[in-house]
Structure formats: C-alpha cells, structure tokens
Amino acid sequence: MKQKILILCTGNSCRSHMAEGLLRSMAGDLFEVYSAGSRPAGYVHPNAIAALAEIGIDISHHESKHLERFLTEKMDVVITVCGKADQICPTFPGQLQRYHWGFEDPPHAVRAGESEMDAFRRIRDEIQLVFGAYVSGYRQALAL
C-alpha cells in the first residue's frame, strides 16, 4: 500500500507544487503525493509549471488548495517546504512522520545576475536533490 504524503507551504503556488510534481515523478510507484497551502494563492505560478516542463514533468493541471481539504485525511508523512507553513502545520490523523525541508520562495529569491526563471530553476534543482535523497533512502530501506 502506498504511503500518503502531503507537502505544505504557505501559498501553494510554487515550491509545494514543484515538490509534488518531482516526488510523484521520482516515486509515484511508492507514494500518493498531494500539496496544499495555509493561505493558497489560488493559482500555480507559471514559472513553476515552466521549470518542471523543462525536465519533462507536467504540473499544468495542478491547482492551489487549502490544507483544510486534507485535515480529515490520513497522511503518513507531512513535509513543509517553507518556514511559515512549518510554524502553523497542524497534526493530521494518522500522521506518522513530519519533516521540514525549507526552500526559498522563487519569486522572492532572485540573486544578482539571475532572472526570475533562473531562480525557479535553481530552487527546482534544490528540491529535486533533497526529495531525490529521500526517495533513494526510502528505496534502500525497502530493499533491506
């Protein structure tokens, strides 16, 4: 049976959707993956969609959702990807594990000489690295 994972951030427009798409792509055989926000923006940022499309992952069908939608669902793992969501994260029924892996908010993380799209790519790659390590460790544990 697949573990259910919920990825939370504040706006549910960038980081959580990129993480959801990446995790589903890397380990959809292991996990049911969802994302939500404490104050959903009401849209998925076009640059988040574009950044994942560049690596062959389609999140254009994703929608911004409030975490309340999942409060009565049994979640095995809850992962927060921003500090504000980490601070307000509720406990979910059946929640076995909770992690906080914070990432910068791409629209507000542009560095000198970097475009906004470059920031989305950089943060996408950081998310991919962290979640990829999680999947690798999980697969190794299953193999033992």
Write out the residue range of the structural domain in which residue 97 sits. Answer: 3-143
Provide the sign of the torsion angle of the four alpha carbons 133, 18, 33, 78, taken in this order: positive
**What's the pTM value of the predicted model, to 2 decimals?**
0.94
14 assigned to active site: no
Check which CATH number belongs to the domain holding 121 and give it: 3.40.50.2300
Per annotation, catalytic residue among 81, 82, 85, 119: 82
Distance CA 69, CA 27 (A): 23
Per annotation, catalytic residue among 57, 89, 119, 123: 89
> Looking at the 3D structure of the chain, how many domains does it have?
1
Per annotation, catalytic residue among 7, 9, 26, 52: 9
Q: 127 — phi, psi (to 5°)?
A: -60, -45
Taking CB atoms within 8 Å and a gap of at least 24, the contacts of 57-63 are 57/21, 57/22, 57/25, 58/21, 59/17, 59/18, 59/20, 59/21, 62/17, 62/20, 62/21, 62/35
Show pLDDT as tens, one digit a residue, over the chain (144 residues): 899 999 999 999 999 999 999 999 999 999 999 999 999 999 999 999 999 999 999 999 999 999 999 988 889 999 999 877 667 766 776 767 989 999 999 999 999 999 999 999 999 999 999 999 999 999 999 999
